[in-house]
Copies of this chain bind each other. A is one copy, B any other.
Amino acid sequence: MKEIEVYKHIVQYYETDMMGFVHHSNYIRWMEESRVDYLRQINIDYTRLEKDGIVSPTVEVNCRYRKSTTFQDVVFITVTMSEFKGVKLKFAYVMKNADGDVVAEASSVHCFIDKVGRPIRLAKEYPEYYSIIMDNIVQESDSK
């Protein structure tokens, strides 16, 4: 399993709302930022994936907000792949602030389809991608 570098997001002014903190919808975008970065680190390039004819839409997101964040905060995001069943791949995210406090815990589920919307079984059709994923799955119990 590859050693993964934690993703860092610097909060922008345009991500805040009139409550004075980051608007909650932006965390869903940070999940994507960090997921793309994580996949790049395990040698799955999103752009190449789409060139290979694989599209990977999001089928579910969950996010629990623990502490607020605001402009110029740095958010540290740890991403893991926690489950791959059939055509559904699940990611887990832990977001922390510079003090090490958890600011959000999240998960997302994605599937793999071809350009006409037909589900792709990676194990059979793209064994290379399949083995990279299986090598990097962290059982939810493992990850503590």
Residue interface mask A55-77, B partner, CB < 8 A = 1: 10111111111001011100000
CA distance A26 to B29 in the complex (A): 10
Tell me how many chains of this kind the complex includes. Answer: 4
Q: How far is the CB of A128 from chain B (nearest CB, A)?
A: 20
Which of A12-20, A94-102, A135-143 contacts the other chain? Answer: A12-20
A12 touches B29 (CB 8 A): yes
Interface of A is mostly: mixed
CA distance A41 to B58 in the complex (A): 32
Tell me whether A65 and B71 are in contact in the complex, defined as CB-CB below 8 angstroms, given that A18-B17, A36-B13 are known contacts.
no
Interface residues of A in 1-52 (CB under 8 A from B): 12-14, 16-21, 23-26, 28-29, 32-33, 36, 46-47
Residue contacts A-B, CB under 8 angstroms, 5 given: A13-B46, A24-B61, A28-B61, A46-B71, A58-B65
